Amino acid sequence: MLKLLILAIANSRLSLKFQLRLLRVVALIAWRKSRIQHWAKNHPKIAIDSNWCSQAWWGVVAGCIVRRFLNNPSLKPEALALLEPTDWSELDSALAEGGVIVATAHLGPPKFLMNVMLERQMPLLVWTNLGDFPAWLSQSPNATFLDPLPPAERGVLLVKSALHLRRGGILLGAADTKISGHSREVIKFDHCWHLSPGLPALAFKLNVPTFFVLAQWHGNRIRIKCQRMEVSYNEMTDEQWQQAWLDRYWSELEKLITSRPENLRFLRNIDDGRFLQDLGL
């Protein structure tokens, strides 16, 4: 019954805004049938109540619905219209001086930030799973896509990224995914995070600035947080600095995970692991 209801909403001709509002009503009861409440019991430090669980459930399903809109060229503008005004001035100023790393994460609505940055027509290099979005999107002008998943490609991934940064481009990638044999494992929030040293290695060796940029749900709208990630060079070795970079990055993720339940995309297996897959979402 619940699946039918969600399908009816997602496949309706209702506007995306209205679909998301309807989903809020469904979420008030739907989370009770999901695993979110079991997950919630394991994290007593987060102030979890029924409202928290409802928001977490909503965020996971809403992210899938928005992604369907993003993947359809005629519906994409409706998804992008959810974005609140973003202040890019600091990033744009840094870009005027040379290459910039945009470090993002697998939290918040999936693929939203990438689509927004593609719209901005910047010289972009994106690390992304190429099997994860439609082919028409990969034809975007001004953008190059590298897939970090095939092991054979990983060897050249950072070198190509370094060349792009040296030419003054933007590298958009997530550090919470395994792209190197030496990723750091953080087991927290019932999830194993692989923090990869690839982005900090590029930042250190090329001396380019990093911005932590993440699209996040704020109510039924999406806000992009864009802030420069400063890590002091205070008498640190190469390795210590990269560890400090990853610590700083992880603290941003942890802050979001504990404060904004709608952005916990890693709770995607909220039911039997096939819940959203069965819905075609």
Partner 1 sequence: MTHEELKLMVYEVIQNIANKSDTLIQADTQLGAEGLGIDSVDFLEIVLELERRTGITIRDEQLTADTLATAGNIIRLLEKSC
List residues binding partner 1 (CB under 8 A). Answer: 150-160, 162-164, 179-182, 197-198, 201-202, 205
CB of 195 to partner 1, least distance (A): 13
Residues 124, 114: Cα–Cα separation, whole Å:
10
Residues 256, 121: Cα–Cα separation, whole Å:
28
Tokens of residue 4, six digits:
């039918």
Residues 6 or more apart whose CB falls under 8 angstroms from that of 265 comprise 59, 60, 63, 106, 107, 108, 109, 110
CB of 180 to partner 1, least distance (A): 5
Cβ nearer to partner 1, comparing 64 with 158 = 158
Sheet strands (E) in 57-203: 100-104, 124-127, 143-146, 170-174, 184-188, 191-195
Residues 6 or more apart whose CB falls under 8 angstroms from that of 101 comprise 165, 170, 171, 173, 199, 202, 203, 208, 209, 210, 211
Cβ nearer to partner 1, comparing 78 with 153 = 153
Cβ nearer to partner 1, comparing 96 with 152 = 152
CB of 169 to partner 1, least distance (A): 10
Cβ nearer to partner 1, comparing 109 with 197 = 197
Provide the residue type at 177 as one letter: T
For residue 242, CA distances in Å to 189, 234, 238 come to: 23, 12, 6
Cβ nearer to partner 1, comparing 20 with 122 = 122
The label of the residue with tokens 């409440």 reads 37
The helices-and-strands tally (H runs, E runs) of the chain is 11, 8
Provide the residue type at 226 as one letter: C
Cβ nearer to partner 1, comparing 193 with 204 = 204
Cβ nearer to partner 1, comparing 103 with 267 = 103
For residue 161, CA distances in Å to 69, 94, 180 come to: 29, 17, 14
Residues 120, 114: Cα–Cα separation, whole Å:
10
